[in-house]
């Protein structure tokens, strides 16, 4: 994992700042997510029915499952801001689910630093334009504008 400093941030705005490895979205992962969220719709859990009755050719991941993968993919792909005590999910300004992710497909996240607000309080709000790509697909699974907060270590 690479590290950047506060001084590096302004020059990184508008650039691709991270790209994760490919991650397989397995049927087991989809099933565990269904259990965690109590969303057991058949398009996620019944491969035979989904193959017959949907245009997807089989089961698909929950949209919120694909969105939730951004956390781990960000941890893997984004450089660590020097002297960060903790990172906090601040929220999303925009999320669009563009294409379904079929069970067994591989996805990866591409992060572009859209903006950064370095505050005197020792907090940095980073705004990322994120695309969750599906391997061998022209359309991404989702696009999002995601804001995270880095809380810097206190210097007493």
Rounded to a whole number, what is the distance in angstroms from the first to the last CA of the chain? 27
Instruction: Read off the pLDDT of each residue in 51-59 and give the average, rounded to a whole number.
Output: 97
pLDDT of residue 55: 96
pTM of the model: 0.94
Q: Which of 90, 98, 104, 97 is nearest to 31 (CA)?
A: 104
**101-147: per-residue pLDDT in tens?**
999 999 999 999 999 999 998 899 999 999 999 999 999 999 999 99
Tokens of 60: 């698909």
- Report phi then psi at 10, rounded to 5: -55, -35
In angstroms, the CA 120 to CA 99 distance is: 40
- Each residue's pLDDT tens digit, 86-105: 999 999 999 999 999 999 99
Q: Where are the domains of the chain?
A: 3-25+61-152
pLDDT above 90 (res 156): no
- 3-25+61-152 in CATH: which number? 3.10.129.10
| DSSP β-bridge partners for residue 107 | 23, 134
DSSP, collapsed to helix, strand or coil, labels residue 16 as strand
């Amino acid at each position: 994992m690479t590290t950047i400093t506060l001084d590096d941030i302004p020059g990184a705005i508008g650039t691709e700042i991270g790209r994760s490895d490919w991650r397989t979205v397995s049927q087991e992962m989809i099933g565990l997510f269904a259990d965690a969220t109590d969303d057991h719709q058949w398009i996620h859990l019944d491969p035979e029915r989904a193959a017959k009755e949907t245009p997807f050719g089989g089961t698909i991941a929950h949209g919120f499952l694909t969105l939730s993968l951004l956390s781990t993919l960000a941890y893997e792909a984004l450089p660590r801001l020097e002297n960060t005590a903790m990172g906090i999910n601040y929220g999303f300004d925009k999320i669009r689910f563009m294409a379904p992710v079929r069970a067994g497909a591989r996805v990866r996240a591409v992060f572009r630093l859209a903006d950064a607000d370095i505050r005197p309080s020792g907090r940095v709000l980073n705004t990322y334009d994120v695309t969750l790509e599906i391997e061998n697909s022209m359309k991404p699974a989702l696009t999002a504008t995601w804001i995270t907060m880095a809380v810097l270590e206190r210097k007493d």
